[in-house]
Chain A
Amino acid sequence: MYAATSMARLAALREEVRALERSGLAAAAARSCLAFGIEEVDGRLAGGGLASGLHEAAPAAPSPSDEAAATLFLAALAARFAMAEGKSGQVLWALTRRDLFAPGLAQAGLTPDRLLYAECRDDEEVLAVVEESVRHGSLAAIVGEVGRMAMPAARRLQLAAEEGGTAALMLRRWRRAGADPLEIPSAALTRWRIACAPSAPPYEGSGPQDGIGRARWRVALARQRGGPTYEWLLEAPDAEARLALPARSGDRPDQAQRAA
Chain B
Amino acid sequence: MGGGGVSTRIEPFDQRHPSPTPPHQGEGLKGLKPGHWRPGARWAREAQPHSFILRSGEGALVTARRDGNRNLLAATCPAARALGLERGMPLAKARILVSGLDVRPADPQGDAAWLARLGLFAARRWTPRAALSGADGLWLDLTGVAHLFGGERLMCARILAFCARLGFAARIAVAGTAGAAHALARFGGDPLILCPTGREADALAAMPLAALRLDDETLSRSSRLGIERVGALAAMPRAPLQRRFGPDLLLRLDQALGRAPEPFDPIVPEEPPCVGLSFLEPIATAEAIAQAGGEAVRRLAIVLAESGLGVRRLALACDRVDNITQYVILSTARATRDPVHLHKLLCVKIEKIEPGFGIERLRLVADRVEPLGPQPIAGAMAGDRPAPDLALLIDRLAVRLGARRIHRLTALESDLPERSLARAGPLDAPVGWPRWPRPVRLLSPPEPVDRIMALLPDGAPLRFQWRGRAYRVAAADGPERVYGEWWRHAGERDAVRDYFQVEDEAGARFWLYRSGDGEDPATGDLSWHMHGLFG
Q: A residues within 8 A CB of B355?
A: none
- Whether B475 lies near A112 (C-beta < 8 A) is no
Residue ID in chain B nearest A120 by CB atoms: B401
Q: A residues within 8 A CB of B130?
A: none
Q: A residues within 8 A CB of B460?
A: 208-209
- Whether A119 lies near B401 (C-beta < 8 A) is yes
- Among the 9-residue stretches B64-72, B178-186, B194-202, B507-515, the one with 4 or more Cβ atoms under 8 Å from chain A is B507-515
- Among the 9-residue stretches A2-10, A23-31, A194-202, A222-230, the one with 4 or more Cβ atoms under 8 Å from chain B is A194-202
From known contacts A117-B408, A198-B506, infer whether A133 and B397 are also in contact, taking CB-CB under 8 Å. yes
Q: B residues within 8 A CB of A138?
A: 387-390, 392-393
- Whether B440 lies near A133 (C-beta < 8 A) is no
Taking the nearest CB of chain B, how far is it from the CB of A165, in angstroms? 9
- Whether A112 lies near B535 (C-beta < 8 A) is no
* Residue A147 CB within 8 A of the other chain: no
Q: B residues within 8 A CB of A115?
A: 408-409
Q: A residues within 8 A CB of B417?
A: 101, 103
- Whether A112 lies near B430 (C-beta < 8 A) is yes
Residue ID in chain A nearest B410 by CB atoms: A112
Candidate in A69, A71, A239 with the most chain B CB atoms within 10 angstroms: A69
Candidate in A115, A201, A211 with the most chain B CB atoms within 10 angstroms: A211
Q: A residues within 8 A CB of B372?
A: none
Q: B residues within 8 A CB of A199?
A: 475, 503, 507
Measured in the bound complex, the distance between the Cα atoms of B442 and A99 in whole Å is: 5
Residue ID in chain B nearest A136 by CB atoms: B393
Measured in the bound complex, the distance between the Cα atoms of B438 and A239 in whole Å is: 12
- Whether B400 lies near A128 (C-beta < 8 A) is yes
* Residue B421 CB within 8 A of the other chain: yes
Measured in the bound complex, the distance between the Cα atoms of B387 and A64 in whole Å is: 38
Measured in the bound complex, the distance between the Cα atoms of B438 and A208 in whole Å is: 20
Measured in the bound complex, the distance between the Cα atoms of B511 and A68 in whole Å is: 12
- Whether A100 lies near B440 (C-beta < 8 A) is yes
Map CB proximity to B onto A167-211 as digits: 1 under 8 Å, 0 otherwise.
000000000000000000000000000011111011000101111
Q: B residues within 8 A CB of A120?
A: 401, 405
- Whether B535 lies near A68 (C-beta < 8 A) is yes
* Residue A56 CB within 8 A of the other chain: no
Taking the nearest CB of chain B, how far is it from the CB of A164, in angstroms? 9
- Whether A107 lies near B438 (C-beta < 8 A) is yes
Measured in the bound complex, the distance between the Cα atoms of B392 and A133 in whole Å is: 10
Q: 8 Å CB contacts to B: which residues of A15-74?
A: 63-73
- Whether B407 lies near A116 (C-beta < 8 A) is yes
From known contacts A112-B410, A120-B401, A137-B387, infer whether A105 and B503 are also in contact, taking CB-CB under 8 Å. no
Q: A residues within 8 A CB of B400?
A: 125, 128-129, 132
Give the contact-size bracket for chain B: 35 or more
Measured in the bound complex, the distance between the Cα atoms of B535 and A211 in whole Å is: 17
Q: 8 Å CB contacts to A: which residues of B380-429?
A: 387-390, 392-394, 396-397, 400-401, 405-411, 417, 420-421, 426, 429
From known contacts A129-B401, A136-B393, infer whether A117 and B407 are also in contact, taking CB-CB under 8 Å. yes
Q: A residues within 8 A CB of B351?
A: none
Q: A residues within 8 A CB of B443?
A: 99
Measured in the bound complex, the distance between the Cα atoms of B408 and A7 in whole Å is: 58
Map CB proximity to B onto A71-115 as digits: 1 under 8 Å, 0 otherwise.
111010000000000000010100000111111111110011101
Map CB proximity to A onto B434-471 as digits: 1 under 8 Å, 0 otherwise.
01011111111000000000000001101000000000
From known contacts A113-B430, A119-B405, A129-B400, infer whether A102 and B437 are also in contact, taking CB-CB under 8 Å. no
Q: B residues within 8 A CB of A215?
A: 503, 507, 509, 534-535
* Residue B533 CB within 8 A of the other chain: yes
Which of B426, B429, B532 interacts with A116 by CB under 8 Å?
B426
- Whether B440 lies near A63 (C-beta < 8 A) is no
- Whether B532 lies near A104 (C-beta < 8 A) is yes
Residue ID in chain A nearest B505 by CB atoms: A198
- Whether B442 lies near A101 (C-beta < 8 A) is yes
- Whether A68 lies near B475 (C-beta < 8 A) is no
* Residue A139 CB within 8 A of the other chain: yes
Measured in the bound complex, the distance between the Cα atoms of B506 and A216 in whole Å is: 10
* Residue B431 CB within 8 A of the other chain: yes
- Whether B401 lies near A99 (C-beta < 8 A) is no
Taking the nearest CB of chain A, how far is it from the CB of B477, in angstroms? 4
Q: 8 Å CB contacts to A: which residues of B487-527?
A: 501-503, 505-510
- Whether B393 lies near A68 (C-beta < 8 A) is no
* Residue A213 CB within 8 A of the other chain: yes
* Residue B476 CB within 8 A of the other chain: yes
* Residue B474 CB within 8 A of the other chain: yes
Q: B residues within 8 A CB of A117?
A: 406-409
Measured in the bound complex, the distance between the Cα atoms of B459 and A199 in whole Å is: 20
Which of B406, B437, B459 interacts with A118 by CB under 8 Å?
B406
Q: A residues within 8 A CB of B441?
A: 64, 67-68, 71, 99-101, 104
* Residue B110 CB within 8 A of the other chain: no
Which of A72, A75, A198 interacts with B503 by CB under 8 Å?
A198
Measured in the bound complex, the distance between the Cα atoms of B476 and A202 in whole Å is: 11
Measured in the bound complex, the distance between the Cα atoms of B474 and A100 in whole Å is: 26
Which of B392, B505, B510 interacts with A65 by CB under 8 Å?
B510
Taking the nearest CB of chain B, how far is it from the CB of A66, in angstroms? 7
* Residue B379 CB within 8 A of the other chain: no
Q: A residues within 8 A CB of B149?
A: none
Measured in the bound complex, the distance between the Cα atoms of B508 and A70 in whole Å is: 12
Taking the nearest CB of chain B, how far is it from the CB of A176, in angstroms? 15
- Whether B408 lies near A112 (C-beta < 8 A) is yes
Measured in the bound complex, the distance between the Cα atoms of B432 and A199 in whole Å is: 28
Measured in the bound complex, the distance between the Cα atoms of B535 and A67 in whole Å is: 7
* Residue B433 CB within 8 A of the other chain: yes
- Whether B444 lies near A99 (C-beta < 8 A) is yes
Candidate in B407, B509, B510 with the most chain A CB atoms within 10 angstroms: B509
Measured in the bound complex, the distance between the Cα atoms of B410 and A251 in whole Å is: 40
Taking the nearest CB of chain B, how far is it from the CB of A113, in angstroms? 6
**What are 12 A-B residue pairs whose CB atoms fall within 8 Å in the complex?**
A71-B535, A99-B441, A101-B439, A112-B432, A117-B407, A117-B409, A136-B392, A136-B396, A196-B509, A196-B535, A199-B503, A212-B503
- Known interface pairs A68-B535, A70-B535, A112-B410; 13 further A-B residue pairs with C-beta atoms within 8 A, sorted by A's residue number: A65-B509, A68-B509, A72-B440, A100-B441, A112-B411, A116-B408, A139-B390, A212-B475, A212-B476, A212-B503, A215-B507, A215-B534, A217-B535
9 interchain residue pairs of minimum CB distance: A72-B535, A65-B508, A104-B440, A101-B442, A69-B535, A196-B507, A103-B438, A68-B533, A112-B430
